[in-house]
Amino acid sequence: MRTIGILGGMSAESTAVYYRELNRLVRDRLGGLHSADLLIRSVDFAEIAALQAADDWIETGRILADAAAGLQAAGAEAIILATNTMHLNAADIAAAISVPFLHIGDATARALAARGVARPLLLGTRFTMEKAFYRDRLTAAGLDPRIPDAAGRGRLQAIIYDELCQGVVTPQSRAEVQAMIAAGRHERADGVIFGCTEIGLLLSPEDIDLPVVDTTLVHCEAAIAFALG
């Protein structure tokens, strides 16, 4: 089994889901007492979030590249970044290591194609929805991603940072996000991307009558496929 390095903490809530899911997948495949061979580097999200707010992606790239290099030096044979938003710095991270960097967008695009989705509604932080780094990767894979309107994007940003990243899940926010999905369907979206690693804490695919890709889960599946060769 290859060792996977997890670059996490953004947020700690979703990194815990990664840890649980990676171990579940290994146990399901190998049985018995098997668990995943993991190294975790969990950064202080408050520092990263402040740099996000300041639009200082150069510094976030430096921090994450250094952390990824540390994981490789500790023995990681591939790196996963346990957050969608910070894949904005994917190139910085990949340049700092010589082991594979398993990109969450690639795993997501493959899963969407497998479900026959062409026009997915991308739900995530404002950065993920509005900046080109993520949508362009989906477009390059032949997809036509959609995003909520400006009010919906602002509200979803608040739900993620003020609630989900702090372990708060409310019925009101669940209903609001479901309304965004209904509006997206009205605009011909034919699937949904849980494009923030915390959204799966709020909704499950069973809550939605469209095909759903939870990026956390498909990212974990890609990592374990690599780990088990």
Q: Which residues are catalytic, by number?
A: 83, 196
DSSP of 179-224: HHHHHHHHTT--EEEE-STTGGGT--GGG-SS-EEEHHHHHHHHHH
Asked if 75 and 39 count as a contact pair (C-beta separation under 8 A), the reply is yes
C-alpha distance from residue 229 to each of 127, 213, 223 (Å): 33, 23, 10
Q: Within its chain, how far is the Cα of 72 from the centroid?
A: 21
- Terminus-to-terminus CA distance in the chain, angstroms? 8
Between CA 15 and CA 81 the distance in angstroms is: 9
Match 């036509």 to its residue by tokens. 144
Two tokens at 108? 């997501």
Q: In terms of Cα–Cα distance, which of 110, 100, 117, 103 is closest to 141?
A: 110
Contact present, 87 and 104 (Cβ < 8 Å): yes
